[in-house]
Chain A
Amino acid sequence: MATTTNQQGHQSDVGVFASEVDEMKERITDKLQRRQDERVAKLEEIKTQRESATGKQENADYFRSNFTKEKAAIENRLAAVSNNVDKSALTDLFDELVTDVQKLLKFVTESTLSLTSYQIRKFQDEVYSLYADVEAKRNELIPKKKFAFKGRQKKSDKPKQVDKPKAVVEEVDGPAKIPKDLLKFQCGFVDLSDSDMTLKSDEIQAKDVGLTSLNSCTVKLFGSPNAIHMNNLKNCKVFSGPVPGSIFVDNCQDCTIVVSCQQLRVHHTTATQFYLHVTSRAIIEDTSGVGFAPYNWSYEGQEEDFQTSQLDRSRNSWDDVDDFNWLASDKASPNWSIIPPEKRVASW
């Protein structure tokens, strides 16, 4: 009995619930529908607003036509650039062009949503090639200053620092003007042939030494420069005390280089012999036919120089050379070799 009543009571409860649930369902569906309508309306509104604002649809076609237009405009301006404008105006003009190309690239980036990845790639490539064109033309019309040394450079930085505020003022109107002697080495030799040169410790101590375009010369650096940059040497002999930094050898042929350093970096060099003390590693890149042997030059005061440069005399990996063009580790690079002991020069 009791069970039945309970059941009945329950049933009636269920009935009440069911109707309530139905009602609720309706209410919620209504609400959802209303919301959906509102949202659609709002989207419509935003869309029409946007369309009326730009007057055009933001889609791929719109992008393409605008892109083509902008690109053509830049190309036309680039074609119109000629040499009869004066130099500073020309630089300005190119700067403007570059800014516009960058804007174009930004435009592509911003429109990625409406483009396929193929299109993005394609448009980007177009922008990059346009940029390359601008740069090529710039290089043609405003040739980069040819880099050259004029004997030894000033020995102290002080006068330059006095001049500095002036340089900043000049810089305000126009693209950065690089002071002419800023990009030169402080000491070294350039454009010489058939001569013997030496530099003493106090002249090169902790400085960057540049040796450029020498032919059949012998250079002796008695001391400890911070770095040595050798460029375009032919048939030269170079000797140096301990270098705590790097030695660069670039574009050299038929040279003998007797140096001690932390790192040796050799590029575009052929048929050159190194007598080397290197505490970390020597590397070669785009280089062939180079030989290595241990460092065997000595001079008075060398021991002191080793101490001040803090170059470790006990660690020398002259025979451990990394070839950046030869990444196979199981086979030795054919570009360098160890000079056999009997072929080494015993003393200088």
Chain B
Amino acid sequence: MGLLTILKKMKQKEKEVRLLMLGLDNAGKTTILKKFNGEDISTISPTLGFNIKTLEHRGFKLNVWDVGGQKSLRSYWRNYFESTDGLIWVVDSADRRRLLDCKQELHSLLLEERLAGATLLVFANKQDLPGSLPADDIRQTLELDDIKTHHWLIIGCSAVTGDNLLQGIDWLVSDIASRIFTMD
């Protein structure tokens, strides 16, 4: 109990939040990160390794870890689980063929003990494309309603236009804040 109080206080002082962004390759993780940070998104290459960005948002310091989603990199995801406050799962809403892969990867992540305390935000990305599935269909396909172990939310967004990115992150940060920081 004592240790938890100290940890809470330390975190509160810095208001620092660690977010881990994962998803299949080509989901748009790096694009979301760069768009959110106001950088050019037209030259993004498939992530070989990972990107870290520290963003200031609503008085919080967000450390966002964007890890590549290629098959050969997925086994390294586990190296980033430690002390994650929020998990951002990015889905390519237009890639119908791999939605089942996407579901499996997500559900196996949620069994991870080190992610047990993390809030889950699912970004149904690429909503700007005419062929994309609405967030509601993605919710069903990924069987999100079966998740009882984590706080979660799915939100349709577009990294290209920037739609709903802020709303998603806002929800994630406030959910984490209400768990970790004593609200002022």
Question: Footprint of B on A, CB under 8 Å?
Answer: 95, 102, 105-106, 109, 124, 128, 131, 144, 147, 157, 161, 164, 167-168, 171, 175-176, 178-179, 182-186, 206-208, 210, 226-227, 229, 231, 245-246, 248, 262-263, 265, 267, 279-281, 283, 285-286, 310, 312, 315, 322, 324-325, 327
**A157:B130 contact, CB within 8 angstroms:** yes
Q: How far is the CB of A149 from chain B (nearest CB, A)?
A: 9
**Chain B residues within 8 Å of A176, by CB:** 140-141, 143, 145-146
Q: How far is the CB of B37 from chain A (nearest CB, A)?
A: 17
Residue of B nearest to A108 (CB): B113
Give CA–CA (A133, B70) in the complex, Å: 26
Kindly specify which of B40-48, B81-89, B164-172 makes contact with the partner chain: B40-48
Known: A183-B100, A226-B94. A283 touches B70 (CB 8 A): yes
- A263: contacting residue among B46, B113, B134, B145, CB under 8 A: B46
Residue of A nearest to B140 (CB): A176
**Chain A residues within 8 Å of B131, by CB:** 157, 185-186, 206-208, 226
Give CA–CA (A227, B129) in the complex, Å: 10
Q: How far is the CB of B63 from chain A (nearest CB, A)?
A: 25
Residue of B nearest to A315 (CB): B43
**Chain B residues within 8 Å of A231, by CB:** 97
Question: Footprint of A on B, CB under 8 Å?
Answer: 25-26, 42-46, 48, 70-73, 94-97, 99-100, 111, 113, 116, 129-131, 133-134, 136-137, 140-141, 143, 145-146, 149
Known: A102-B111, A176-B141, A208-B94. A109 touches B100 (CB 8 A): no
Q: How far is the CB of A330 from chain B (nearest CB, A)?
A: 16
**B136:A164 contact, CB within 8 angstroms:** yes
**Chain B residues within 8 Å of A167, by CB:** 140
Give CA–CA (A210, B96) in the complex, Å: 10
Q: How far is the CB of A47 from chain B (nearest CB, A)?
A: 17
Give CA–CA (A325, B73) in the complex, Å: 10
Top-4 shortest CB links A-B = A281-B45, A280-B45, A283-B46, A183-B96
Residue of A nearest to B73 (CB): A324
- A206: contacting residue among B43, B72, B130, B149, CB under 8 A: B130
Give CA–CA (A299, B65) in the complex, Å: 42
Give CA–CA (A128, B106) in the complex, Å: 15
**B94:A182 contact, CB within 8 angstroms:** no
Give CA–CA (A208, B126) in the complex, Å: 12
**A183:B26 contact, CB within 8 angstroms:** no
Q: How far is the CB of A286 from chain B (nearest CB, A)?
A: 7
Q: How far is the CB of A217 from chain B (nearest CB, A)?
A: 19
